[in-house]
């Protein structure tokens, strides 16, 4: 299979998801006996892609692409996929990738497997595994069309460095775009400065009703700060207005897969568990030893989050040096 890997950039540099996309694409190419071509939109330094084994990369440039319109991005990727005769296009399941992929799939008359956690091309088909019901179940889906599109969940396909770094050859790609390809345009971006987002973080410290009030979340923030982690929250505390929607982890919030998830004062309602159970290591702190959160925890502390969090923060400080 010929695979096109769409590599996301931010401020001229490849994002972490780009390296994960390269790893996923190279794995598929190896299974199916094919090759991978990367695609970046706009100016970016692609040198780092070589570290992860990518040797061939298209660089798409067009004045209309500067408007950051996902519809124009989708058209560009579709044209690149056709020009390269790609069988499969892999994108990250990021906020942008999730807007681009459905449009791209329609343009290529391709089946789309969204937000996948595993891809398998060994049997000649493309079978994708993806969590459904926010992770309460997994679906194995076969794409039945000739052309295929898949998005990969961030933080799941661990980027692997190549044994020997490749030298990236950049090839200019000039898509044919018209004003009509630019539909919705991004006029401004505001970033939560100094705050990590749960969707992207390697470590998350989440707080729940066990913290008893919004004024106590500094205990969660303090541990998160020590670990370089993002702050998460249960639905109960978001609904109560203690924390913003953006921090909610669970079936009606964000689904996350960090390396380490620490749940403090969260009992583990099924809809919360659904959103974080695919975390690699789970630590639960709860004073109720029968709380459901302990059933999926790798490590648990039975105790009051008030007392445990400050102690934990102190002990963590002695092993991490940030």
Partner 1 sequence: MNILVGLSQVPDTTTKIVIGADNKAIDAKGVKYIMNPYDEFALEEALRLKEKNGGTVTAVTVGGDTAKEVLRTALALQVDKAIFIKADSADSFVIASNLAAVAQESKPDVILFGRQSIDYDSFQVAPMVAELLDMPSVTMTSKLEISGTSLTAERDIEGGKETVSASLPAVISAQKGLNEPRYPKLPDIMKAKSKPIEERAASATSARTEIVSMELPAAKGKGKIFSDSDGDISELVKLLHEEAKVI
Interface with partner 1 in residues 104-163 (CB under 8 A): 105-107, 109-115, 127, 130-145
CB of 172 to partner 1, least distance (A): 27
* Whole-number Å distance between alpha carbons of 93 and 125: 21
| Nearer CB in complex with partner 1: 218/311 | 311
| Contact call for residues 21 and 92 (beta carbons, < 8 A) | yes
Residue closer to partner 1, measured from CB, 164 or 189: 189
Q: Decide: is 13 part of the binding site for partner 1 (CB under 8 A).
A: no
Taking residues 302 to 321 in sequence order and writing x for each that binds partner 1 by CB under 8 A, - otherwise, the string is xxx--xx--xx--xx-xxx-
- What is the Cα–Cα distance from 96 to 82, expressed in whole angstroms? 21
3-state secondary structure 272-291: HHHHHCCCCEEEEEECCCCC
| Among 42, 225, 246, 292, interactor with partner 1 by CB under 8 A | 246
Q: Is 178 exposed, middle or buried (0-12, 13-18, 19+ CB in 10 A)?
A: exposed
Scan residues 20-79 and list those touching partner 1 (CB under 8 A): 70-71, 74
Q: How many residues of this chain interact with partner 1, rule: CB under 8 A?
A: 99
| Contact between 231 and partner 1 per CB under 8 A | no
Q: With binding defined as CB under 8 A, does residue 264 bind partner 1?
A: no
Least distance (Å) between residue 31 CB and partner 1: 17
Smallest distance, Å, CB 38 to partner 1? Answer: 21
Backbone torsions φ then ψ of 184, nearest 5 degrees: -95, 135
- The answer to the question of residue 222 lying near partner 1 (CB under 8 A) is no
> In whole angstroms, what is the distance from residue 243 CA to residue 232 CA?
9
Give the DSSP letter string of 19-57: HHHHHHHHHHHHHHT-EEEEEEESS-B-HHHHHTT--EE
CB closer to partner 1, 168 vs 262: 262
By CB under 8 A, is residue 195 in contact with partner 1? yes
> Least distance to partner 1 from the beta carbon of 1, Å?
17
Q: Which of 126, 151, 129, 128 is nearest to 70 (CA)?
A: 151
- How far, rounded to the nearest angstrom, does the alpha carbon of residue 105 sit from its chain's CA centroid? 20
Cα Rg of the chain (Å, integer)? 21
Considering only 45, 158, 185, 240, the residue that binds partner 1 (CB under 8 A) is 185
């Amino acid at each position: 299979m010929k695979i096109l890997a769409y590599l996301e950039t931010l401020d001229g540099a490849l994002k972490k998801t780009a390296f994960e996309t390269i790893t996923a694409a190279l794995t598929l190419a190896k299974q199916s006996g094919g090759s991978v071509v990367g695609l970046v939109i706009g100016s970016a330094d692609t040198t780092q892609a070589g570290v992860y084994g990518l040797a061939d990369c298209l660089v798409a440039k067009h004045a209309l692409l500067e408007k950051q319109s996902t519809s124009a991005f989708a058209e560009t990727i579709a044209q690149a996929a056709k020009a390269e005769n790609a069988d499969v296009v892999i994108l990250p399941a990021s906020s942008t990738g999730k807007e681009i992929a459905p449009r791209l799939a329609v343009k290529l008359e391709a089946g789309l497997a969204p937000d996948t956690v595993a891809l398998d091309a060994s049997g000649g088909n493309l079978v994708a595994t993806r969590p459904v019901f926010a992770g309460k179940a997994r679906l194995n889906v076969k794409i039945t069309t000739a052309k295929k599109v898949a998005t990969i969940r961030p933080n799941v396909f661990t980027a692997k460095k190549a044994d020997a770094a490749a030298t990236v050859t950049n090839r200019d790609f000039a898509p044919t775009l018209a004003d009509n390809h630019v539909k919705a345009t991004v006029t401004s971006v505001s970033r939560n400065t100094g705050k990590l987002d749960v969707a992207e973080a390697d470590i998350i410290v989440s707080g729940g009703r066990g913290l008893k009030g919004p004024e106590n979340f500094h205990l969660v923030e303090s541990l998160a700060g020590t670990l370089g982690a993002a702050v998460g929250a249960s639905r109960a505390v978001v609904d109560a207005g203690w924390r913003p929607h953006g921090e909610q982890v669970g079936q009606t919030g964000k689904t996350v897969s960090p390396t380490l998830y620490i749940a403090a004062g969260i009992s583990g309602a099924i809809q919360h568990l659904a959103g974080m159970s695919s975390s690699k290591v789970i630590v639960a702190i709860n004073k109720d030893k029968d709380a459901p959160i302990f059933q999926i925890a790798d490590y648990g502390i039975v105790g009051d989050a008030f007392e445990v969090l400050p102690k934990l923060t102190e002990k963590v400080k002695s092993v991490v040096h940030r």
